[in-house]
């Protein structure tokens, strides 16, 4: 254990600030064949709903310049499957478990939170920002009063530490952040993907079956960083920064903008060792610059 | 055992316009690969974030061979690599084909760029196997199948190489007797093959393709509709992890 890498998010002590971003890492099983999951600060699992969700039609993936679009539609086998199969697997590892939860209705969000309330997980991440589901997702995440209401409702059903994942598709991210905190969020995760599109000029139609999808990758990082910076200046709860992080330098930018921790998503597809390399890179930076803890540089940019 | 490694390129050459073959020196991959598996090849330009899934055409001692068509920015970059250049790979991935039982007769049906993924399978099938290859125009790699003693039938849209028509029309004309069918090619062709196999009452193994991100089963990008026997409804399975080879009768072709 390297003390200078430790960070605390919503009362949960992480051995280092590097987390996997929901939806890019499954429940860790597949990447666990390549990397040592024990070295991660936390694993955020793919969105879990109370019932199984089939997901969206194919094609679901499109590459863009320095980024990608996805429209998976939160396909998942449901919370019971997660508790039975994925949770025991993850628990064998020395890493924290953050469960991303999703729903089409307020009642569904509450049901999955309630089901997980007594389970051995470390934190819930409330996904009110997925651009790829018709009901729920973004519909809950873009109006401050709705955000406050859904967070409050879920809060009622769980005592687990709760982070709320925010969409960048809003006029003022700080307003949404304040609403989530006022609803009872212990932490905030931002940003989710931006809505994007790609057209195949030869077939003269959208590449994705659902026409539009969530845009992620290095291209969105400046937007994500700006929003993390603004939110960290506005609220007192810790922020998990994410959006296009691919290198340790990227991760340090988020920490200097005020993030308590960072999540790595699309970079996992490009390089399955991205998280490991980022952890080593941050450690190296702290050692070289003789920085005793992440607190010394967190939010250092005013 | 899946490995993420750099490989040296050997013997890259253009088989015909836009279709390239390269050998990749990747011992870890070559040692554990099976016919029908694929690798993820990462474009050298990092602005192309996603790896390209490419099936293995041949597995030698210390290297694997792939054949690909230049269709976009990623494959265009691969075609510009020269001998001794290094490329990032991950693999072998996917389930591959299940070989026939002793004494069984096989039919191998390939269309276009679906032909190379069948080559190593054809080499390793211990018993009798008849090969049907379909092309848009000029044939390629048909000699590789003949090279290990297979009887090869060629169809093309233009009649170049023999039969004019689809590969399935050729299969129907010849009506080979078989216990198993193996196929790789465009989705429409695979559907026709699966339906033909169903009419003959023989199992078909079809190798599918879909846009992919992670390649290892985490992102759920490369979905395919599968209905397992005895199950009430279809589900999306992963081409990369649960496939790319599926049972022809379990694929939900329409929809």
How far apart are alpha carbons B172 and A129 in whole angstroms? 52
Q: Tokens 């092309």 correspond to what residue?
A: B135
How far apart are alpha carbons B67 and B21 in whole angstroms? 4
Q: Is A124 exposed, middle or buried (0-12, 13-18, 19+ CB in 10 A)?
A: buried
Beta-bridge partners for A14: A7
Amino acid B2: pLDDT: 92
Residue whose C-alpha is closest to residue B52's, from B18, B83, B81, B76: B76
Query: Searching chain A, which residue's CA lies closest to the CA of residue B234?
Result: A54
For chain B, counts of helices (H) and of strands (E): 6, 15
Q: What is the mean pLDDT of each run of 10 residues along chain A (302 residues)?
A: 88 98 96 97 97 96 95 96 97 98 93 97 92 67 90 96 96 96 98 96 96 96 98 98 98 98 97 98 97 97 94
Residue whose C-alpha is closest to residue A133's, from A91, A195, A83: A195
How far apart are alpha carbons A21 and A74 in whole angstroms? 14
Q: What is the pLDDT of residues B3-56, one digit of tens each?
A: 999 999 999 999 999 999 999 999 999 999 999 999 999 999 989 999 999 999
ipTM of the complex model: 0.93
Amino acid A132: pLDDT: 65
How far apart are alpha carbons B137 and A1 in whole angstroms? 63
A73's CB contacts (< 8 A; 6+ apart) are: A53, A54, A55, A56, A60, A132, A133, A210
The C-alpha of B45 sits at a distance from chain A's nearest C-alpha, in angstroms, of 10
**Phi, psi of B197, deg, nearest 5:** -60, -40
Is the separation of the CB atoms in A180 and A187 below 8 Å? no
Interface test with A, best of B212, B236, B251 (most A CBs within 10 A): B236
Amino acid A13: pLDDT: 97
State which H helix or E strand residue B84 sits in: none
Amino acid A131: pLDDT: 66
Amino acid A129: pLDDT: 79
Is the separation of the CB atoms in A79 and A131 below 8 Å? no
- CB contacts of A62 in chain B (<8 Å) are 211
Amino acid A135: pLDDT: 63
Is the separation of the CB atoms in B42 and B88 below 8 Å? yes
Q: Tokens 């055409």 correspond to what residue?
A: B57
Residue whose C-alpha is closest to residue A50's, from A152, A157, A138: A157
One of A50, A102, A110, A130 is an active-site residue; which one? A130
How far apart are alpha carbons B133 and B118 in whole angstroms? 10
Q: Report, in angstroms and rounded to the nearest whole number, the Rg of chain B calculated over CA atoms.
A: 18
The minimal CB distance from B223 to the residues A34, A58, A62 is found for A58
How far apart are alpha carbons A9 and A105 in whole angstroms? 27
Amino acid A151: pLDDT: 96
Q: How far is CA B62 from the centre of its chain?
A: 20
Q: What is the pLDDT of residues B83-140, one digit of tens each?
A: 999 999 999 999 999 999 999 999 999 999 999 999 999 999 999 999 999 999 999 9
The C-alpha of A96 sits at a distance from chain B's nearest C-alpha, in angstroms, of 19
**Phi, psi of A299, deg, nearest 5:** 65, 20
- CB contacts of B219 in chain A (<8 Å) are 23-24, 26, 61, 70, 72, 269
Beta-bridge partners for A208: none
The yes-or-no verdict on residue B181 having pLDDT over 70 is yes
B82's CB contacts (< 8 A; 6+ apart) are: B9, B12
A287's CB contacts (< 8 A; 6+ apart) are: none
Q: Is A130 a catalytic residue?
A: yes
Structure tokens at B136: 């848009």
How far apart are alpha carbons A97 and A257 in whole angstroms? 25
The minimal CB distance from B223 to the residues A26, A31, A60 is found for A60
Residue whose C-alpha is closest to residue A167's, from A127, A217, A218: A127
Residue whose C-alpha is closest to residue B184's, from B174, B193, B197: B193
The C-alpha of B144 sits at a distance from chain A's nearest C-alpha, in angstroms, of 33
The DSSP line for chain A is --GGG-EEETTEEESSSEEEPTTSSTTSTTGGGTS-GGGSSEEEEEEE-SS-B--PPSP-EEEETTEEEE-----B--HHHIIIIIHHHHHTSSSEEEEEE--SSHHHHHHHHHHHTTSS-SEEEEE---TT-SSSTHHHHSSHHHHHHHHHHHHHH--S-EEEEPPS-SS-HHHHHHHHHHHT-SEEEE--PEEEE-EETTTTEESSTTSEEEEESGGGHHHHHHHHHHHHHH-SS-EEEESS--SHHHHHHHHHTT-SEEEE-THHHH-TTHHHHHHHHHHHHHHHTT---GGGTTT---
Within 13 Å and on the Cβ side, how many CA atoms surround A14? 29
Task: Answer yes or no: do B241 and A26 touch at CB < 8 A.
Answer: no
Whole-number mean pLDDT of chain B?
A: 96
Amino acid A198: pLDDT: 97
Q: Tokens 């007192």 correspond to what residue?
A: A236
């Amino acid at each position: 254990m390297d003390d200078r890498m430790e960070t605390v998010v919503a009362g949960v002590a992480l051995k280092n600030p590097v987390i996997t971003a929901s939806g890019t890492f499954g429940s860790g099983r597949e990447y666990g064949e390549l990397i040592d999951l024990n070295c991660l600060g936390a694993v955020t699992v793919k969105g879990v709903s109370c019932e199984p969700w089939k997901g969206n039609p194919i094609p679901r993936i499109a590459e863009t310049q320095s980024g990608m679009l996805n429209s998976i539609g939160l396909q998942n086998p449901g919370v019971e499957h997660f508790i039975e199969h994925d949770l025991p697997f993850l628990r064998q590892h020395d890493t924290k478990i953050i469960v991303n939860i999703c729903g089409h209705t307020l009642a569904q969000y509450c049901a999955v939170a309630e089901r997980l309330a007594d389970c051995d997980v470390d934190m819930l991440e409330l996904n009110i920002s997925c651009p790829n589901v018709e009901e729920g997702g973004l519909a809950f995440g873009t109006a401050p009063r709705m955000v406050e209401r859904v967070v409050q409702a879920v809060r009622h059903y769980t005592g687990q530490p709760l982070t709320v994942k925010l969409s960048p598709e809003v006029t003022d991210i700080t307003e949404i952040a304040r609403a989530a905190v006022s609803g009872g969020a212990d932490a905030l995760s931002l940003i989710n993907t931006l809505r994007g599109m790609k057209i195949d000029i030869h077939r003269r139609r959208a590449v994705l079956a659902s026409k539009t999808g969530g845009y992620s990758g290095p291209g969105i990082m400046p937007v994500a960083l700006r929003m993390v910076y603004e939110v960290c200046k506005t609220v007192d709860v810790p922020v998990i920064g994410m959006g296009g992080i691919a290198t340790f330098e990227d991760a340090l930018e988020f920490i200097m903008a005020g993030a308590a921790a960072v999540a790595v998503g699309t970079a996992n597809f490009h390089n399955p060792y991205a998280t490991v390399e980022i952890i080593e890179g941050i450690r190296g930076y702290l050692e070289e610059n003789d920085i005793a803890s992440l607190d010394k540089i967190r939010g250092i940019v005013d | 055992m899946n490995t993420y490694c750099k490989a040296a390129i050997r013997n890259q050459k253009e088989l015909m316009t836009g279709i390239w073959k390269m050998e990749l020196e990747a011992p870890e991959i070559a040692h554990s690969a099976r016919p029908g598996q694929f690798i993820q090849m990462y474009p050298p330009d990092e602005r192309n974030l996603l790896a390209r899934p490419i099936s293995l055409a041949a597995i030698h001692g210390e290297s694997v061979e792939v054949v690909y068509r230049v269709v976009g920015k990623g494959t265009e970059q691969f075609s510009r690599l020269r001998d001794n250049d290094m490329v990032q790979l991950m693999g072998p991935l996917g389930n591959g084909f299940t070989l026939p039982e002793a004494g069984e007769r096989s039919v191998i049906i390939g269309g276009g760029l679906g032909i190379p993924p069948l080559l190593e399978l054809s080499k390793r099938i211990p018993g009798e196997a008849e090969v049907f290859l379909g092309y848009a125009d000029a044939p390629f790699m048909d000699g590789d199948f003949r090279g290990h003693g297979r009887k090869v039938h060629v169809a093309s849209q233009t009649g170049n190489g023999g039969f004019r028509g689809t590969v399935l029309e050729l299969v129907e004309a010849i009506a080979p007797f078989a216990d198993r069918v193996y196929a790789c090619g465009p989705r429409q062709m695979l559907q026709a093959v699966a339906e033909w196999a169903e009419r003959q009452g023989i199992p078909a193994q079809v190798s599918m393709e879909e846009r992919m991100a992670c390649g290892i089963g985490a992102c759920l990008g490369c979905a395919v509709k599968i209905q397992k026997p005895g199950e009430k409804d279809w589900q999306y399975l992963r081409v990369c992890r649960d496939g790319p080879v599926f049972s022809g009768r379990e694929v939900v072709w329409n929809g």
